A and B are shown apart, each in its own frame.
Chain A
Amino acid sequence: AQSVTQLGSHVSVSEGALVLLRCNYSSSVPPYLFWYVQYPNQGLQLLLKYTSAATLVKGINGFEAEFKKSETSFHLTKPSAHMSDAAEYFCAVSNTASKLTFGTGTRLQVTL
């Protein structure tokens, strides 16, 4: 079975500060890992994905994530937060072309 754990259900940062959203995975096979963002009353938008290629993955809107097998982590970062980044962020895992298993989500708040 696969699972992801997101540490911190709520994260608050100041505009311009570093964003760090944590995700740890558990998988018996090499995982495929994803970060999705969900704005209020909207669908899920793919930010980035890891599929066993480069361990440092760059996504949209200035986000990136690093796959660390030794730490079973796939943390999401952004050097400088913007007000428009305020949303719910979900880490997800799958193997091959199959269902996504999501973490419980982290709500990012960006303050002035």
Chain B
Amino acid sequence: AAGVIQSPRHLIKEKRETATLKCYPIPRHDTVYWYQQGPGQDPQFLISFYEKMQSDKGSIPDRFSAQQFSDYHSELNMSSLELGDSALYFCASSLFLAGGNSYEQYFGPGTRLTVT
């Protein structure tokens, strides 16, 4: 079965540079979530999109922005990178079922961002 695809898998950037992370959800999934997992920490929700509209926002820095495109893939843009941005960034996708009780999110393998 098709899974969530994230690219790149690894990314090394210097401070103050920019980075773009991409996420391709499972086909027919309409919702995308972004999470950040620092070293030894639990994943923290950043932002989500449903049908190309932002649906929820968590602890995402103002330096970060994201969007979901017409083909449902999503990109997380990170500017003015800081050392503290070094983390594993996960994308997850789900299919919203009106009146349903699925709500399970399928995670991609993550992008490991290292800021030096």
Contacts and interface: CB of A to CB of B under 8 A. Distances in A.
A101 B104 CA distance: 13
Nearest to A52: B101
A44 B36 CA distance: 12
**For chain A, which range describes its interface: under 10, 10 to 19, 20 to 34, or 35 or more residues?**
20 to 34
Interface residues of B, number: 30
Given A43-B107, A43-B109, A44-B107, A97 B94 contact: yes
A100 B105 CA distance: 9
Interface of B: 4, 31, 33, 35, 41-45, 48, 50, 55-56, 58, 90, 92, 94, 96-97, 101-110, 112
A107 to B, nearest CB: 10
B103 A94 contact: yes
A84 interface: no
